[in-house]
Structure 1
Amino acid sequence: MVEELVFNVGRKLRKVRGELGLSLRQLSEKVAVSPSTIQKIESNQISPTLATVLRIAKGLGKEIQFFLDQQHEPTSVVFIPKKHRQRIKAPDLNFGIELLTDGLSDQRFSPLILSVPPGGKRGSHLRHRGEELQHCISGKVEFTIRGKKYLLRQGDTLHFKSDIRHRWVNVGKRAAKLLMICSPPLHIGRNSNEK
C-alpha cells in the first residue's frame, strides 16, 4: 500500500513534468524543492514527506489528492521524451536501468535499457513469471540459461521464458547496452516480481 502510494507520486510527478516540458531545474524553481529531491521522488528512490508533496502540488496548481489518489486514470498513449526517462539507481545493482515507458493502462510489458559496465552482471540465477526479450544494442553480454551459454553481440536477440533460471554478465572490455522487454511488466520502484 505505502509502496504503491510512493510509486504513484513519482509516476504522476514525472508525467506532469513531461506534459509541461519542464526540466528538473525549472520544476525545482516552480515548486521550491531541490532538483535532486525531485529526481529521487520520480525514480522512487525516496519517499517524499507530506509537506514536500503539498509544496509540489501547490506549485503545480494541483490538489494534493492528485498525487495521493491511487486510482489510475486510463491512458492509451504515453510519450516520454528521452530527457524525461526514469533512471533507476539501486545500490545493489552494478548496472544502470532506464525505464522507456510506464503508465499505459493495462500495460502488458516493460521496456528497459540496461547499461552494463565491463564485468557488470546479474549474477544470481533469476526466475520470474512471463517472458523476456534481450536485444544487444552494443557490447558483448553472455547469458546463461539452463547451463547453456548464449553470447549476444550488437544486433543479437535472445527471447526466453523467464521462469527458467537465467543470469548474465558483460564479458566485453567496453560498456554494453541491452534493450530488455519483460512481460508481464516489472514494477520498478514497487515490489519487483523477481525471485
Structure 2
Amino acid sequence: MAHDTAPSAEVPSGSIGRLVKDARARAGLSMRALAARCEVSQPFLSQIERGHTAPSLATLYRIAAALGVSVSSLLPEAVSTPDILHVDARGGRMLPVSPEADSASGRLLTIGAGHPLEVVEYRVRPGETLGGWFTGDGEQTLFVVEGRVTVELAGEGSWVLEAGGALTHPSNVPHRWSAGAEPCHLLLAVAHRTAGDSST
C-alpha cells in the first residue's frame, strides 16, 4: 500500500485532512472502506485526516477518485470570488507527485469544489520522477511548454510529446508520464464530470 513519508510545506495538512474527512462522511464511507478503495493503509489515512501528514498528488488523486470528487475540492479554498480565481506567479498549492524522494512537484492552479476545471503546472528537473500510474474522472489534456515527456496509456500505446505538443484522453484510462533528461515544463488541464453528466 502507498505511504507518503513527509507533509508538503506548501499546503496546510490539517486543512486537507478536514476536507478529506468531510468528503468521506458525505460519501457514507468508513475510514477502512476508503483506505481500501484508494490502496492506502487505514492508519495512514487516519494520519491524513488528523492533519499529521499531507498526501502526495498520486495519493490525493486516488482519494478523490474513490470519493467521486475533484482533487481541488480536497484542498483549501483560494481567496477569490465565486466565478473568478486569480493565482499569481507565487500562488497555487504545491504537492509532490509521489512519495518518492526524487519526486517532482505539481502546482495546483485551481482550488475549490466549485471549479470543474483543474489545472496543474509541473516543472520537472533532471533526475526527478513523475510517479506511477494515475487514473481519474473526466477528460484531460497534457501540454508540453518546454522539454519532452513520454505518455503511456494502458492498452492504447505511448506518445513522445515535445514542446508545443499535447495529448488529450479520458482520465479513467490508466496513464503515466516519464520526462526526458532535460528540464521539462508541463501544463495539465482536467475537465471533471459534473452532476448530471452521463458521458463516459
TM-score by length of 2: 0.52
Q: Does 1:85 align with 2:89?
A: no
CA distances 1:64-118 after superposition (whole Å, capped 9, x unpaired): xxxxxx9xx9711111211222222366151111111223x62111101012233
Read off the aligned partner of 1:165 and give its amino acid letter. P
**Alpha-carbon distance change, 124 to 9 in structure 1, aligned in 2, over 3 angstroms:** closer
Counterparts in 2 of 1:125 and 1:157: CA distance versus 1, 3 Å? same
Of 87, 101, 115, the residue aligned with 2:110 is: 101
Give the number of the structure whose residues are more often helix, by fraction.
Answer: 1
Note the aligned Cα RMSD (angstroms). Answer: 3.6
Q: Which runs of 5+ in 2 are unaligned?
A: 1-11, 20-47, 53-76, 194-200
- Write the letter of the residue equivalent to 2:176: R
Q: Structure 1 residues 85, 144: closer, same or farther in 2, change over 3 A?
A: same
Q: Does 1:182 align with 2:167?
A: no
Q: Is contact 1:140-1:152 (8 Å) kept?
A: yes
Q: Which runs of 5+ in 1 are unaligned?
A: 11-43, 49-69, 186-195
Which residue in the other structure is 2:51 paired with?
Answer: 47
Measure, in 2, the Cα distance between the counterparts of 1:130 and 1:147. Answer: 17
> Aligned in 2, Cα 1:176/1:90: closer, same or farther, shift over 3 Å?
closer
Question: Where does residue 82 of structure 2 map in the other structure?
Answer: 75
Deviating runs (4+, > 4 A) in structure 1? none
Cα shift readout 1:135-154 (whole Å, capped 9, x = no counterpart): 00101000011251111111
Give the whole-Å Cα distance in 1 for the aligned partners of 2:164 and 2:191: 21
* Structure 1 pair 123–5 and aligned structure 2 pair: CA distance change class (3 A): closer
Looking at structure 1, the residues matched to 97 and 167 of structure 2 have their Cα atoms a distance apart, in angstroms, of: 25
Whole-angstrom distance in 2 between the partners of 1:167 and 1:139: 17
Match for 2:149: what amino acid?
V
Q: How many residues align?
A: 125
One-letter code of the match for 2:51? S
1:167-178 map, 5 Å: 167-171=176-180, 173-178=181-186
| 1:127 match | 135
What is the aligned partner in structure 2 of residue 143 from structure 1? Answer: 151
Partner of 1:153: 162
Q: Which has more radius of gyration?
A: 1
Taking structure 1 as reference, are residues 115 and 166 closer, same or farther at Cα in structure 2, changes over 3 Å only?
Answer: same
Q: Is the 8 A contact 1:119 1:169 kept in 2?
A: no
Distance 1:154 1:90 in 2: 21
Cα distance in structure 2, aligned partners of 1:101 and 1:166? 22
Q: Which shows bigger deviation, 105-114 or 85-94?
A: 85-94
Distance 1:181 1:7 in 2: 21
Task: Tell me, yes or no, if the aligned pair for 1:120 and 1:169 is still in contact at 8 Å.
Answer: no
1: CA distance, partners of 2:140 / 2:128: 19
- For normalisation by structure 1, the TM-score amounts to 0.53
1:178 Cα deviation from its structure 2 partner: 0.6
- Identity across the alignment (%): 17
